[in-house]
Structure 1
Amino acid sequence: MTRTVGILGGGIAGLALAARLAGRGHAVTVYDRDRLGGKLRQLMLAGEVVDTGPSLFTFPQVWRAYLRGLNEPDPLNLRPLPGGLGVHHTPHGPVPLPVPPGHPLHPHWERYEGAAAPLAPFLPVLLTTPPRLRDPLFRQAAAALLRVQGPYLTAQRWLAAQRLPPALTHALATHALNAGLAPQVAPPLYALIPALASAEIYQPERGMGALLDALLAFGQARGVQLREQTTVKSVLGQTLILSRGETARHDLLVSAMDPHRLAALLGKSAPSPLARRTVSGVGVYAVLPHPAPLPATSVLPPSSFAAFHAHVQRGALPPDTLTLVHAHTRQLSILLATPATGEPLTLPHPWVQAQLRRVEETLHTPGLLRDALDVATLAPDHYAQGGHPGGALYGPGLPAWRGGPLHPQPYRLRAGLWQVGTGVHPGGGIPAILGGVQIVDQLLQEAGW
């Protein structure tokens, strides 16, 4: 007999898991209060389709493992991203990552790569395997991680122990913010990411929106029902109370929503202290009359991670912030990290304007947006609408020992109710999302789904 599955949330995690479950013969319905895609969506600006959300495709082994589970060829045509992780404009000078041969910092980069190298074969295992010490493969991978990180519990402490030049240390520490946390509190793994990812940094040939198109196609080919603009009001047992008084009962429910939002649907209290939240952000997306004279990726780290962390913890806008600048043909995106306060930070806001001036000065591009044909902004209030309180992009910040692949997170909340997504598989980016999907998919298969 066909069993029914309801998935709450149509972001990358929800859609990816839906295709896997439908491929095993379940009748799957995905519910989303807005448009499908979650943070990965598309805007129409000046007649062009502009992608939002993740901008880099790293650790493609995780994507390929997901495809193998569907017996699908890769439709993305991944292309190497020029410049890799980009030029990091640290207070000590610009640093390209990876550092190329001939650069003064290259010997130090090689030493750093050597420190991270023993973990490289095991990272896909950590990303895609349930964190169970009885599993010999996971135990071997976890041991490799613990050997590489040593006694250091944070990214900052691990980097300090490597005794690298200040410019390289600052550039590497910036990647702790891939977890939405400053290096003082992020797990050491995030200081290792540049070395582990540097050989394979990609974008799909047709842009990141191609990933969304692929997941939708996989689901539709397997009969997944997609219900956009359908709000789940509450969850009562196995029954969903939907907008307009409609109800839907499923044999299995999987939440791909933020766990705090799920708790509210279950009628439970789930406080989210501001000081524990990961960062939110402002995304400024523009189409220019001509291509900007910029590399594919430029990174402007905060000048002081300590000041940045202190401001974010108390919900104050930092004097300068992590800023990612992506340039592709005439399209430009500028992403600013902010505290997760849900503030509607628009383009004219004085703080946003100050950060844009910093970009122009650092990258020597005066009037960067002055002649833009069209501009759109997504801010913390946007991300708060369907996500964590305040628009925290990665949910609540976890202690360093609970972050990353060693997380003791509850994928199964009770019989018939599971959860998936970055809220329960800590870390940002596509590898963490798709890895978490494969973990939940494996656990569901073991439970008879």
Structure 2
Amino acid sequence: MQTRLPPDAPASNRPPALVVGAGLGGLAAAMRLGAKGYRVTVLDRLETPGGRGTALHVDGHRFDLGPTIVTVPQLFRDLWTACGGDFDADVDLRSLDPFYEIRWPDGSRFTARADTDAMRAEVARLSPADARGYETFLRDSELRYRIGFEDLGRRPMHRLADLFRVLPAFARLRADRSVYAHAARRFRDERLRMAFSFHPLFIGGDPMNVTSMYILVSHLEKAFGVHYAMGGVAAIADAMAHMVERQGGQLRLGVEADEILVDKGRARGVRLSGGEVLRSDVVVSNADAGHTYDRLLRNHERRRWTPPRLRRTRWSMGLFVWYFGTSATRDLWPDVGHHTILNGPRYAGLLRDIFLKGRLSEDMSLYLHRPSVTDPSCAPARGDTFYALSPVPHLGHADRVDWAAMAEPYREQVCRVLEDGPLPGLSRHLSASRVFTPETFRDRYLSPHGSGFSIEPRILQSAWFRPHNVSEEAQGLFLVGAGTHPGAGLPGVISSAEVLDQLVPEARPLPQQMEVAAE
């Protein structure tokens, strides 16, 4: 009797698998399941694949709505290889150098580059006394990368034994210390402390409280570089969707999963908001982990991620994003590159307002994305496409921001900061404008409290403490994406599907087909 499904088995012979959510984690999960022999159906309420990695087209401008930086491209290459494909044949990935520029209100700047000697020179230019500290920081970062990314981040962490195994390393590396506290031990200059501690903001964490294991991002940049996909991250999502379809899977877009069905302790399928029921014994949720447990499993008693526990959970900050286009500006701001970080007058104080006090501050720090300097196709001729991102409080604080009233005044404030800084005369050249607030993230992505990156990656909300990739609530239910292990960011969500691959069994032929094969 044939018990293992051959790679070329027809779709009718493949057991079904359902993936809720066509974000990058869900698409990667679908590719992994397809490579295992499953007939995969991906469900998403949006009209295009990619989740936060989709794009918006307005008046000739293509706006990347979410992630803009690709690090560790080898994760994508490994994913494509597992599916018998070639990532570089499907996606045009460009290496950027410099990576980004950081600017401070006093006019000083720091340019992050691939070359280690160039980085040493940048550190020494700002603070000669910190050159030795930079060398130590590099070693610190690499060690945490080896343990935190290559080890913990690419294998399951759902058993207590997994936690006990890594505790000695966490203690040795002082994982209880924050990213900022670690940077402060290596650098005297406050600007360098910021430059080497802000990275957790890209995955929704407060540098003042997130575990110092996340300084591993500095090594990721140095070892693998910073890249941009021509066409934006949406081009990667499209290529992933096409791979799913080539494997015999399908994407059902514009449909919303209303409930994950559980019977006798086992996932049995998904009910859509319109009432249609899809059956499968393998269900993967790429919806936010909070939404999965609070909404999609609302009719099933939960043991671990109960409503009270979710209420106690700390969520990542919200995001205010202004997407704007300009006309005839391609040569107007020659010193503004692809990625620029604009610091406000406060660092620690602003972070306290955002993460702890839940207060919308008058001052702000911004991440400015200008992809048109690398990819002119995202803007009309001679024009530019930008987005300016400001971290803001999520909607779960007691005195939540009324974004219906504040969105336009805050956008005007962002515009003033840009005009006073890198983009003088900006308002005279605007040709397109759209705004996303935390309310948009709540409504568009079903993100609890409108948080930008799901659960904040504090030490007691990381690794084993984070929602597991295999659910305790029902057999056959798995989770991927930013709210699960190992965490947010492109490397994190792609790795979550790699972990899933180690948990889901190989597909077996459907029972009736097994009988035919036996004859």
TM, length-normalised to structure 1: 0.88
Give the deviation of 1:121 after TM superposition. 4.8
Q: Which residue among 280, 284, 289 is the counterpart of 1:254?
A: 284
Unaligned runs of 5+ in 1: none
SS at match of 1:244: coil
Contact conserved, 2:468 with 2:485, CA < 8 A, in 1? no
SS at match of 1:318: coil
Contact conserved, 2:46 with 2:255, CA < 8 A, in 1? yes
Residue matched to 1:241: 271
Cα distance per residue 1:57-82 (max 9 Å; x no partner): 01223222222222211222321123
Label 1:195 to 1:90 Cα distance change in 2 as closer, same or farther (>3 A). Answer: farther
Q: Output the CA distance in 1 between the equivalents of 2:476 and 2:486.
A: 23
Q: Output the CA distance in 1 between the equivalents of 2:435 and 2:68.
A: 16
Contact conserved, 2:56 with 2:63, CA < 8 A, in 1? yes
Residue matched to 2:298: 267
Matching of residue 21 in structure 1 with residue 51 in structure 2: no
Q: Output the CA distance in 1 between the equivalents of 2:430 and 2:255.
A: 35
Residue matched to 1:37: 50
Letter aligned with residue 205 of structure 2:
L
Cα distance per residue 1:208-245 (max 9 Å; x no partner): 22211111111010111111111122222213221322
Residue matched to 1:392: 451
Letter aligned with residue 456 of structure 2:
G
SS at match of 1:34: coil
Residue matched to 1:221: 246
Q: Output the CA distance in 1 between the equivalents of 2:36 and 2:233.
A: 27
Q: Output the CA distance in 2 between the equivalents of 1:230 and 1:304.
A: 42
Q: Output the CA distance in 2 between the equivalents of 1:109 and 1:307.
A: 25
Matching of residue 77 in structure 1 with residue 116 in structure 2: no
Q: Which residue among 177, 180, 186 is the counterpart of 2:201?
A: 177
Greater displacement, 271-280 / 260-269: 271-280
Q: Output the CA distance in 2 between the equivalents of 1:338 and 1:92.
A: 24
Residue matched to 1:126: 152
Label 1:87 to 1:156 Cα distance change in 2 as closer, same or farther (>3 A). Answer: closer
SS at match of 2:18: strand
Residue matched to 2:217: 193
Matches within 5 A, 1:9-408: 9-35=21-47, 36-74=49-87, 75-89=90-104, 93-98=108-113, 100-103=119-122, 104-105=125-126, 107=131, 108-121=133-146, 123-131=149-157, 147=172, 149-150=173-174, 152-199=176-223, 200-237=225-262, 238-263=268-293, 264-267=295-298, 270=307, 272-273=310-311, 276-289=314-327, 290-291=329-330, 293=333, 294-302=336-344, 303-329=346-372, 330-341=384-395, 344=403, 349-363=408-422, 365-385=423-443, 386-403=445-462, 405=463, 407=465
SS at match of 1:176: helix
Give the deviation of 1:201 after TM superposition. 0.7
Contact conserved, 1:132 with 1:139, CA < 8 A, in 2? no
Contact conserved, 2:284 with 2:478, CA < 8 A, in 1? yes
Give the deviation of 1:406 after TM superposition. 6.0
Greater displacement, 314-323 / 91-100: 91-100
Cα distance per residue 1:85-139 (max 9 Å; x no partner): 3324376932222463533148353442233233445533433222379999x96
Contact conserved, 1:17 with 1:437, CA < 8 A, in 2? yes
SS at match of 1:325: strand
Aligned-pair identity (%): 23
Letter aligned with residue 77 of structure 1:
D
Give the deviation of 1:52 after TM superposition. 1.7
Label 1:91 to 1:186 Cα distance change in 2 as closer, same or farther (>3 A). Answer: farther
Letter aligned with residue 307 of structure 2:
A
Letter aligned with residue 46 of structure 1:
D
Give the alignment's Cα RMSD to 1 decimal: 3.0
Greater displacement, 214-223 / 408-417: 408-417
Q: Output the CA distance in 2 between the equivalents of 1:258 and 1:151.
A: 26
Give the deviation of 1:204 after TM superposition. 1.6
Q: Output the CA distance in 2 between the equivalents of 1:270 and 1:420.
A: 20
TM, length-normalised to structure 2: 0.77
Residue matched to 2:484: 424
Label 1:13 to 1:90 Cα distance change in 2 as closer, same or farther (>3 A). Answer: farther
Letter aligned with residue 433 of structure 1:
V
Contact conserved, 1:187 with 1:401, CA < 8 A, in 2? no
SS at match of 1:349: helix
Aligned length: 444
SS at match of 1:412: coil
Contact conserved, 1:81 with 1:201, CA < 8 A, in 2? yes
Larger Rg: 2
Label 1:233 to 1:406 Cα distance change in 2 as closer, same or farther (>3 A). Answer: closer
